[in-house]
Amino acid sequence: MPDVLVLVDHDGERVHKCTYELLTAARRLGDPAAVVVGTPGTAARLEEPLARHGATSVYAAESTEADEFLATPAVDALELAVREVSPAAVLVSATTDGKEVAGRLAARLDGGLLIDAVDVDSCGVATQVVFGGSYTVRSQVTHGLPVITLRPGSFEPEERPVEARARQLALPPVDRVASARVTARRAALAGDRPELTEATVVVSGGRGVGGADGFKVVEQLADALGGAVGASRAAVDAGYYPHQYQVGQTGKSVSPQLYIALGISGAIQHLAGMQTSKTILAVNKDPEAPILGLADYAVVGDLFAVAPQLAQEVAARRAVG
């Protein structure tokens, strides 16, 4: 079977869950081949978990300056791998960085680009949710190499242990004039909760939360469920919660197993970022709120009464067993 290149999303020590999802999706199209871009030694640290999730080859695209530039090293690495193995497709996670890499790679190779897919079949036909979530379409590349970005959470990672072949890619020197360089790094605020796009449970608050203090109810329910906290654009714009937690068309797209919307009306912008969640529970005082029509389970009521009771019940059941 032909190789399917997968760009590995990692922090230097840990492979992100979205990469395991890509490896699972890649098996529908061929043999998954992981491309690791980083400083020397990175690929060796990540090879075991990648092989455990089905990567038949692990390409090490390493250089001392790989972490100093945005996108360019990853695009260079994927281009080298494509020239070497002539893959059936290239899969990249549909993060902000991933979309940048995929777009530039497709332009370099004169290939076809499919953005933010939520599924892909064995023939390379991708399913996408478009126009702010108004339509679901199926698309297929008809010219050149398919470069597909998959929305995190679209696939359930599956372990498929194999013996991976370690291979090397010699990254060329980065054009320092034409490439964006990282001049400083600042750690984002983070806690013990899972990362938003990788969480299996997401609890989001909207304008109905009423203020920053109101988000304590959202956090308590998220913690009871072991989930991540999200926010609607209205809540972020009002200063209720930091912008990096925004879910929606101009924020992050999520597809958790369970999405709980507290005090969120359901503007199209928000629905575009979460409507592919496997199960949706919405709590809103307004019986006409659009999100109630999308939800699998809808509660018309005061979130400040419903959410604490739900958190208490979850905690009680976990304590029992």
Annotated domain spans of the chain: 3-169, 196-320
Query: Average per-residue pLDDT in the chain?
Result: 93
| Tokens describing residue 116 | 């933010």
Domain spanning 3-169, CATH class: alpha beta
pLDDT-derived band of residue 213, with 50, 70 and 90 as boundaries?
Answer: very high
Give the CA count within 13 Å in the CB-facing half-sphere of 233. Answer: 15
| CB atoms inside a 10 Å sphere around CB 50 | 26
Task: Name the packing angle between helices 303-320 and 215-225 (round to 10°).
Answer: 20
Q: CATH fold of 196-320, please?
A: Rossmann fold (3.40.50)
- The answer to whether residue 262 scores a pLDDT higher than 70 is yes
Query: Annotated binding residues for FAD, as ranges?
Result: 207, 232-233, 246-250, 263-270, 284
Report the pLDDT value the prediction gives residue 32, as an integer from 0 to 100: 98
Query: Annotated binding residues, as ranges?
Result: 207, 232-233, 246-250, 263-270, 284
pLDDT by residue (tens digit) across 92-137? 999 989 999 999 999 999 999 999 999 999 999 999 988 877 789 9
pLDDT by residue (tens digit) across 274-320? 988 999 999 999 999 999 999 999 999 999 999 999 999 999 988 87
SS3 at position 214: coil
pTM, rounded to two decimals:
0.86
Alpha-carbon span 36 to 74, nearest angstrom: 8
Asked if the domains 3-169 and 196-320 are classified in one and the same CATH topology, the answer is yes
**Helix runs in the chain, H state only:** 17-26, 42-52, 72-85, 96-109, 215-225, 233-237, 268-271, 290-294, 303-320
- The candidate with the shortest Cα–Cα distance to 105, out of 145, 65, 141, is 145
